């Protein structure tokens, strides 16, 4: 996800999430230590070290997922509901259990169970202070308009992924006119997503547009990009040009209908687009 504004990929490039990456690196010495203990004949110590390594890696994945979800939530006007899995809390306890086993049974049995428990609690506290736990989510629900918050987020993420795929495929097309038109289509499609995010009441009525229509636009773009790599086909270019015109027209109509709170005729337009895709033979 972008770090500034979700629906503007040109000014808001996706950033790599580095926070929590250290959690994958720190447990690495436990693995060769477990192998060494196994070769030395200490099965208990080897199992404790191996379990500590596995739990630490699991914790790293859970904590980083919790961080990523919170970051994504901060970029949205609404987030997932409070029932979402508390990934960072689970990760912190997984890490604590792993380090408890390492301290109690993995370091030459030098720590007693009480000291090891204190060590595990210290790990939980340190994880909480540095990474935090998952925030409470008391976000507004949109179930009253026929779609839940979870469904709406998944719908927007799926549509956003299709738009990303259209942009990626467009970069492989050599025709400058087509690249420019595809960039414009992606921009306008994101405006629709932004409109729906501002007013979730439009989401239920625009569901078929986001699922069926954008999927068709993605397929036709990727299909043309693959065919265009092999040879230049004037007939194929003309077909694709006509399809792009239809796509641009449908997006403009969808924006107008969202403004008018009227999408009753959208299904007919989608069916027309699907028939055109098959007729033109672009996909």
Residues 178 and 225 in one domain: yes
Q: Give the structural domain span for 103.
A: 22-131
3-state secondary structure the chain: CECCCCCCCCCCCECCCCCCCHHHHCCCCHHHHHHHHHHCCCHHHHHHHHHHHHHHHHHHHHHHHHHHHHHHHHCCCCCCCCCCCCHHHHHHHHHHHHHHHHHHHHCCCCCCHHHHHHHHHHHHHHHHHHHCCCCCCCCCCCHHHCCCHHHHHHHHHHHHHHHHHHHHHHHCCCCHHHHHHHHHHHHHHHHHHHHHHHCCHHHHHCHHHHHHHHHHHHHHHHHHHHHHHHCCCHHHHHHHHHHHHHHHHHHHHHHHHHHCCCCCCHHHHHHHHHHHHHHHCCC
Q: What's the whole-number mean pLDDT along residues 85-96?
A: 89
Residues 80 and 173 in one domain: no
Q: Is residue 58 part of a domain?
A: yes
Predicted local distance difference test score (pLDDT) of residue 205: 66
Predicted local distance difference test score (pLDDT) of residue 214: 85
Predicted local distance difference test score (pLDDT) of residue 196: 80
Q: Is residue 1 part of a domain?
A: no
Q: Is residue 4 predicted with pLDDT exceeding 60? A: no
Q: Is residue 7 part of a domain?
A: no
Q: Which residue has the higher pLDDT, 224 or 93?
A: 93
Q: Is residue 14 part of a domain?
A: no
Q: Is residue 82 predicted with pLDDT exceeding 50? A: no
Predicted local distance difference test score (pLDDT) of residue 94: 93
pLDDT digits (tens, 9 = 90+) for 158-194: 888 899 999 999 888 888 899 999 999 999 988 888 8
Q: Is residue 136 part of a domain?
A: no
Residues 162 and 256 in one domain: yes
Residues 176 and 216 in one domain: yes
Q: How many folded domains does the chain comprise?
A: 2
Residues 100 and 215 in one domain: no
Residues 83 and 29 in one domain: yes
Q: Is residue 161 part of a domain?
A: yes
Residues 211 and 115 in one domain: no
Residue finishing a domain among 131, 159, 193: 131
- Mean per-residue pLDDT of the chain: 77
Residues 262 and 156 in one domain: yes
Residues 57 and 151 in one domain: no
């Amino acid at each position: 996800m972008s770090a500034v504004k979700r629906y503007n990929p040109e000014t808001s490039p996706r950033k790599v999430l580095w926070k929590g990456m250290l959690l994958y690196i720190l447990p690495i010495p436990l693995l060769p230590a477990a192998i060494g203990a196994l070769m030395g004949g200490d099965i208990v110590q080897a199992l404790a070290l191996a379990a500590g390594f596995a739990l630490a890696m699991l914790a790293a994945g859970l904590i980083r997922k919790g961080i990523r979800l919170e970051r994504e939530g901060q970029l949205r006007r609404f987030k997932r509901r409070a029932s979402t899995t508390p990934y960072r809390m689970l990760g912190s306890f997984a890490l604590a259990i792993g380090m408890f086993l390492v301290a109690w049974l993995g370091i030459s049995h030098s720590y007693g169970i009480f000291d090891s428990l204190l060590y595990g609690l210290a790990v939980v506290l340190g994880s909480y202070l540095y990474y935090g736990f998952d925030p409470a989510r008391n976000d507004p629900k949109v179930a009253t308009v026929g779609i839940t918050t979870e469904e709406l987020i998944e719908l927007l993420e799926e549509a956003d992924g299709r738009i990303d795929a259209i942009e990626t495929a467009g970069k492989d097309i050599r025709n400058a006119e087509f690249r420019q038109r595809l960039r414009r289509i992606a921009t306008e499609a994101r405006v629709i997503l932004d409109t729906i995010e501002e007013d979730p009441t439009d989401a239920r009525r625009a569901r078929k547009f986001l699922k069926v229509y954008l999927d068709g636009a993605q397929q036709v773009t990727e299909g043309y990009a693959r065919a265009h790599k092999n040879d230049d086909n004037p007939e194929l270019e003309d077909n694709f040009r006509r399809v792009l015109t239809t796509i641009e027209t449908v997006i403009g109509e969808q924006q107008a209908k969202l403004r008018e709170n009227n999408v009753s005729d959208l299904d007919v337009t989608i069916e027309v687009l699907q028939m055109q895709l098959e007729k033109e033979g672009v996909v």
